[in-house]
Amino acid sequence: MKIRVGILTAPKIEFERREDTFVLKNVRIGIGFHWDRREDQEFQGTLEIKPTPNPSLKGGAPWQVAINTIDLEDYLCSVISSEMNANSPMELLKAHAVISRSWALRAISQRPHEQIVNGQIVNDFDVCADDHCQRYEGLRRMNERAVIAVRETQGQVLISDKVTKDQVTKDQVRSGEWEICDCRYHKCCGGRTEIWRTCWEDIDVPYIQSVQCDWCDPQRKSLVHRTSVLRTSLNDYDQETRDFHDWQVRYTQEELSEIIRTKSGIDFGEILDLVPLKRGASGRIYELKIVGTKHTETIGKELKIRLWLSNTCLYSSWFEISRQLSAVSHQPSAFTLTGHGWGHGAGLCQIGAAVMASEGFSYDQILAHYYVGTRLSTTTR
Ligand SMILES: [Zn+2]
Ligand SMILES: [Zn+2]
């Protein structure tokens, strides 16, 4: 089975053909997140270059997208060594291969980027190569261990017997993929995983429950042990993020009001308060009231809150807010956000799963912990 991956690089794509591969120059990774950067990447499979809508909100001339068609199992070798380090414990890599395969099979039928403009399909690919879908960074970070993990779990997906047809889209029912779990995952839950409706649609997804996770806590084991698991399990640019479990961000009034104005396009005036109205099962906020001198608005869900309260994207929406009041005006002069976790928190906690694997849990035990009531099955596709 083949998958078509859309790789966004720049308005005009530069590439270089090699014997069996090609190199794309200046591929942008981590788009909009705190690790956003560019790098040259090498891919196998075929390359097409097509126009794609300009990512600017104001429109403008079309950009180009590089579409890489590749065998699904080869795609997975790259994904698991892009999401995590290919030197991670083997049971982590196998667990990741299963969830990345399950997610990809659903995405192939759903095509999250497809748009119809003037009767024409644009973005004629299945998934993108960045964190929006799954990281796919070509051959650069792959090694033999990733290939073994994919081969040893060949065709394996997660299935939930509790999912009913009214909990999935018509496209999935039509394509016959509806029993395969939508295996969401994130970098670090911060101590407890989140439920579906905090992040996405208002539905109950039976296998995305809130479960306790002690494995991603840096206090769990001696620092020596933790450091070695992280060094082998996280890729180079992810190792730059050190405070992923417990973090703090402090903004002056000027900084916060400017960030919110820039990100939202709305002038709230001075920010008087940030009021969490609804929190999910882990503590992640999914409705936040922003009270300003000129404008007040309630926003959600978790990703929008993270985007509006940071120049890039806050680590997570699980945070407490404290205001420092000015002695003169008695208005807030600064805000401190004290938070936990990195990512939306639903499904598998990648750092927790890596530590579980290093402590001797098998990949099916890891999957059973993070995806409640599921079982492994083999797809013939
Ligand atoms: Zn995507
Ligand atoms: Zn965790």
3-state SS of the chain is CEEEEEEECCCCCCEEECCCCEEEEEEEECCCCCCCEEEEEEECCEEEEEEECCCCCCCCCCEEEEEEEEEHHHHHHHHHHHHCCCCCCHHHHHHHHHHHHHHHHHHHHHCCCCEEECCEEECCCCEECCCCCCCCCCCCCCCHHHHHHHHHCCCEEEEECCCCHHHCCHHHHHHCCCCECCCCEECECCCECECHHHHCCCCCCCCCCCCECCCCCCCCCCHHHHHHHHHHHCCHHHHHCCCCCEEEEEEEHHHHHHHHHHHHCCCCCCEEEEEEEEECCCCCEEEEEEEECCCEEEECCHHHHHHHCCCCCCCCCCEEEEEEECCCCCCEEEEEEEEECECCCECEEHHHHHHHHHCCCCHHHHHHHHCCCEEEEECCC
Ligand nearest to the CA of 355: 2
Ligand nearest to the CA of 211: 2
For the CA atoms of the chain, what is the radius of gyration?
A: 21
Say if residue 64's pLDDT is above 90. no
Ligand nearest to the CA of 110: 1
**Do 232 and 267 fall within a single domain?**
no
pTM: 0.91
**Do 67 and 47 fall within a single domain?**
yes
**Do 149 and 174 fall within a single domain?**
yes
Distance 46 CA to ligand 1 centre (A): 19
Ligand nearest to the CA of 6: 1
Ligand nearest to the CA of 350: 2
Distance 359 CA to ligand 2 centre (A): 14
Say if residue 306's pLDDT is above 90. yes
pLDDT at position 178 is 67
**Do 219 and 322 fall within a single domain?**
no
**Do 320 and 363 fall within a single domain?**
no
**Do 133 and 264 fall within a single domain?**
no
Distance 342 CA to ligand 2 centre (A): 9
Say if residue 50's pLDDT is above 80. yes
pLDDT at position 237 is 84
d(CA 10, CA 341): 31
**Do 138 and 199 fall within a single domain?**
yes
**Do 58 and 160 fall within a single domain?**
yes
**Do 209 and 147 fall within a single domain?**
yes
Structural domain for 316, as ranges: 246-340
Say if residue 176's pLDDT is above 70. no
Distance 113 CA to ligand 1 centre (A): 6
Say if residue 170's pLDDT is above 80. no
**Do 257 and 159 fall within a single domain?**
no
**Do 126 and 157 fall within a single domain?**
yes
Say if residue 173's pLDDT is above 80. no
| Between 160 and 173, the higher pLDDT residue | 160
Q: Give per-residue pLDDT as tens, 129-139.
A: 998 999 999 99
Distance 107 CA to ligand 1 centre (A): 9
The most confident of 47-61, 224-238, 247-261, by mean pLDDT:
247-261
Mean pLDDT of the chain: 90
Say if residue 269's pLDDT is above 80. yes
> Which residues lie near ion ligand 2 (Cβ < 5 Å)?
189, 213, 216, 349, 352
Residue 343's pLDDT band, with cuts at 50, 70 and 90, is: very high
**Do 320 and 225 fall within a single domain?**
no
Say if residue 175's pLDDT is above 60. no
Ligand nearest to the CA of 217: 2
Distance 347 CA to ligand 2 centre (A): 10
Say if residue 163's pLDDT is above 80. no
Ligand nearest to the CA of 129: 1
| pLDDT average, residue stretch 304-310 | 97
Closest CA to 374 of 362, 361, 360, 364: 364
| pLDDT average, residue stretch 141-163 | 92
Residue 254's pLDDT band, with cuts at 50, 70 and 90, is: very high
pLDDT at position 52 is 83
Q: How many domains does the chain have?
A: 2
Say if residue 324's pLDDT is above 90. yes
| pLDDT average, residue stretch 26-49 | 90
